[in-house]
Amino acid sequence: MQILKIDIKLDMSKESSTAKEYSPVAVVPATRYSAAQYAPSIARSTQNTEEHFQGTGFSPEGPAGVEGQTTPAYKDLSNLVGKYDKTQQTTNNEINEKNTTTEKQPWDIKGIGAGVAIDGVWKWKYDKGGKVLLNPDGSIQREYVPVSDDDLAKAKSLIQAAIGFNRDRGDSVDVQTLPFDRTTQFTKEDGVFRRQLEVRRIIYGALIGLGALLILALAYRLIAKELERRRRLREEELARQHQAMREAALRTAEEQGVEVELSVEDRARLEMQENAANMAREHPEDVAQLIRTWLVEE
């Protein structure tokens, strides 16, 4: 999500007010069994003054032989007896006084406007076989999926709650879906995907080469084994032919009454053949098992 614009109108004027409160004085505090007693005020200090005078007045005259400057009105009061009393009382009282100063915050929000853009989701495209589709330049094909109207409404509600939305104050919030520029991100993803493909190709090539080597080795072994079997069959065939020729010559010599001296090997071979023939006639199952064992070993 990206906030495109937030406009806040502020009133920076500062207001303050001072209030003075007077309250009665508690002369008797509250107890568990009685309530507190209050008085409008209590005396802090008292001053009493009294003046008393009784006698004749005195009018000053001038020096001897000089007429005084007293006015006629005061001359008439001269030598009169009078009495004067003055009583004055001054009491200073204490009261409960509370001064309260209230200052209003130095700013007042007149309105908030917010514009918000929300990016959607970029998804890779795949073919029916689940393979990632690529562009001609080797980059990944992507599809943009915008944000649904329900999600936009939820985002708008959250933003309104965050800024303290007040319709009467003139606040406004606008939320829209908008695809952002993700060229740098896509370039990195494409590079990582290309490297993965190259590593995958190298692994596949190595596996194919190893498989080919294994197949060649197996084929070489089979061919060599087949050639060895054929060579052994030819040698056995030649040996049988030589033995047949030798036996035929011996039979011919016996028929003609010619004495033939046989070598030790030929005599041993003839005895072995006679013993094998006798064993085959007497114990055919054992001979068949022996032949199967030879075939398995071959």
pLDDT of residue 13: 62
Token look-up 């006698």 returns: 55
pLDDT of 222 higher than 80 = yes
Cα–chain center distance at 110: 36
Out of 128, 156, 180, pick the residue that ends a domain: 180
N-to-C CA span, the chain: 77
Please give the Cα distance from 16 to 181 (Å, whole number).
51
Query: In this structure, are 211 and 270 located in the same domain?
Result: yes
On whether residue 152 sits in a domain, the answer given is yes
On whether residue 16 sits in a domain, the answer given is no
Query: In this structure, are 162 and 114 located in the same domain?
Result: yes
Out of 130, 152, 180, pick the residue that ends a domain: 180
Least confident of 21-35, 94-108, 195-209, 260-274: 260-274
pLDDT of 203 higher than 90 = yes
Q: What is the mean pLDDT of residues 71-77?
A: 60
- The answer to whether the CB of 10 falls within 8 A of the CB of 127 is no
Average pLDDT, the chain: 76
Local confidence band at 57 (pLDDT 50, 70, 90 cut-offs): low
pLDDT of 1 higher than 60 = no
On whether residue 137 sits in a domain, the answer given is yes
What is the pTM for the complete model shown? 0.39
Local confidence band at 122 (pLDDT 50, 70, 90 cut-offs): confident
CA atoms within 13 A on the CB side of 3: 9
On whether residue 4 sits in a domain, the answer given is no
What phi-psi label fits residue 261: left (phi over 0), alpha (psi between -120 and 50 degrees) or beta?
A: beta
pLDDT of 168 higher than 70 = yes
On whether residue 207 sits in a domain, the answer given is yes
Query: In this structure, are 146 and 222 located in the same domain?
Result: no
On whether residue 162 sits in a domain, the answer given is yes
Please give the Cα distance from 1 to 155 (Å, whole number).
10
Strands 25-28 and 37-39 turn out to be antiparallel
Can you give the residue range of the structural domain that contains 227? 183-285
Local confidence band at 202 (pLDDT 50, 70, 90 cut-offs): very high
pLDDT of 77 higher than 60 = no
Q: Name, of 101-110, 219-228, 286-295, the range with top average pLDDT.
A: 219-228
Question: In percent, how much of the chain has pLDDT > 70?
Answer: 67
For residue 144, what are its two tokens? 């943009």
Query: In this structure, are 207 and 276 located in the same domain?
Result: yes
Least confident of 23-27, 89-93, 251-255: 251-255
Q: Is 169 helix (H, G, I), strand (E, B) or coil?
A: coil
Query: In this structure, are 191 and 281 located in the same domain?
Result: yes
Out of 180, 203, 231, pick the residue that ends a domain: 180
Higher pLDDT, 42 or 118: 118
pLDDT of 9 higher than 60 = yes
Token look-up 């494409």 returns: 190
pLDDT of residue 27: 67
Local confidence band at 60 (pLDDT 50, 70, 90 cut-offs): low
Using CA atoms of 68, 73, 78, 81 in order, give the dihedral in degrees to the nearest 10: -160
pLDDT of residue 92: 78
Count the domains in the chain. Answer: 2
Amino acid at 145: V
